[in-house]
Amino acid sequence: MAITLDQTIAHKQQSWLSAKLSSQTFWVLMAIALACLYLSFATDSFATQKNLYNITRNVSFVAIVALGMTLVIITGGIDLSVGSVLCLCSMILAVIMHAGYSIEIGIAAAIGTALIVGAFNGVLIAYLGFPPFVVTLGMLSIARSLAMVASNNTVVFEFGPDHEQLLALGGGAWLFGIANPVLYMIALALLTGFVLRWTKFGRHVYAIGGNEHAATLTGVPVRPIKVAVYMISALSAGIAGIIQTGWLGAVTTNIGAGMELQVIAAAVIGGANLAGGIGTAFGALVGAALIEIIRNSLGLLGINAFWQGAFIGGAIVMAVLFDRIRNLRQND
């Protein structure tokens, strides 16, 4: 029987399952599952409630920032300023609350700061045509310097009248004994995933990364979207900063130093493509989780902490290697 044109058009190229099986995120997830399984048997301390609580909480800070970073990476950009923006927002929150203002005012100021920084990055990149690398590298330096100016480079550990509320916000566990940062991470990941998959904005973010020129020609508002994406990235750093301040109970001007590289690593391990056009919210979480599992397991297995960088670096290369092999096979 001949296949009609309509049948050809209606045909799905791959099933849902085969699409999942061929994704980088899936294989990284498998690696995490295997590592967890192995560690549960090989050590007594891995599968304990306390260790799992710590792991999930530690993941959340990098993961939250990686969600924003993933959006930037999908558009084909990069944001190197997130670690410093996290520091600046934490410090603004700390200094304002230390001065006796309420937690609401502190959080509003921190978030406002993040949005301003993000808008500054975005406008320079989208409207003035600066390379994202250069603008955000500049902001990496500026934001941390501003944090030092704001605090006079001191440690802030007293947060005024709402001190306890701030500590509960970041350090508590309001639901089923899950650390609060993890709850925020899950909520933000669901939101990001929804936006990417189900909104016009998300669709346009992918389009810009796929072919910016085509997006412009077809009437996608490329510039406003790019500004929004850098604002979201800075916002995610700001949110992570607020939560981390609550958890740590103290802010130094070192907080978030070098974090941008971990965040980018998490996004890339989770399947985001630095060339743009590819990436998911779930991938950001998975990438952040793999990094944390590696760190945690080296400690539990008694391997010298100096090896951490080598293993995490190896994971970055391995994750992308799978992707390369698949592409090579497709091109043959």
Partner 1 sequence: MAGVEWPERFGETAVDKNGRRGLREEQERLTVLELINVSKHFGAIQAVSDVSFSLEPGEVVGLMGDNGAGKSTLVKMIAGNFRPSEGTLKMDGAEIILHRPVEARRHGIEIVHQDLALCNNLTAAANVFLGRELHRGLGPFKVLDYASMYRRAGEIFAELKSETRPRDLVNKMSGGQRQAVAIARTRLSDAKIVLMDEPTAAISVRQVAEVLNLIRLLRDQGIAIILISHRMPDVFTVADRVIVMRRGQKVADKKIAASSPEEVTGLITGAIERV
User: Least CB distance from residue 262 to partner 1, whole Å?
Assistant: 26
Of the two residues 166 and 278, which places its CB atom closer to partner 1 in the complex? 278
User: Least CB distance from residue 75 to partner 1, whole Å?
Assistant: 12
Residue 156 has what DSSP assignment?
B
> Whole-angstrom Cα distance, residue 144 to residue 293?
29
Of the two residues 15 and 152, which places its CB atom closer to partner 1 in the complex? 15
Q: Which residues are CB-neighbours of 317 under 8 A, at least 6 positions away?
A: none
- The number of residues making up the chain comes to 332
Q: Which residues are CB-neighbours of 25 under 8 A, at least 6 positions away?
A: 270, 271, 280, 282, 283, 286
> Whole-angstrom Cα distance, residue 146 to residue 154?
13
Amino acid at 113: T
Structure tokens at 43: 């050590």
Of the two residues 4 and 304, which places its CB atom closer to partner 1 in the complex? 4
Q: How many Cβ atoms sit within 10 Å of the Cβ of residue 45?
A: 11
Of the two residues 9 and 128, which places its CB atom closer to partner 1 in the complex? 9
> Whole-angstrom Cα distance, residue 287 to residue 290?
5
Footprint on this chain of partner 1 (rule: CB under 8 A): 5-6, 8-13, 197-200, 203-204, 206-207, 209-211, 213-215, 217-220, 277-278
Of the two residues 89 and 225, which places its CB atom closer to partner 1 in the complex? 225
User: Least CB distance from residue 192 to partner 1, whole Å?
Assistant: 15
Which is nearest to 67 in space by CA: 283, 313, 325? 283
Of the two residues 157 and 194, which places its CB atom closer to partner 1 in the complex? 194
Structure tokens at 181: 């940062």
User: Least CB distance from residue 309 to partner 1, whole Å?
Assistant: 32
User: Least CB distance from residue 331 to partner 1, whole Å?
Assistant: 11
User: Least CB distance from residue 4 to partner 1, whole Å?
Assistant: 10
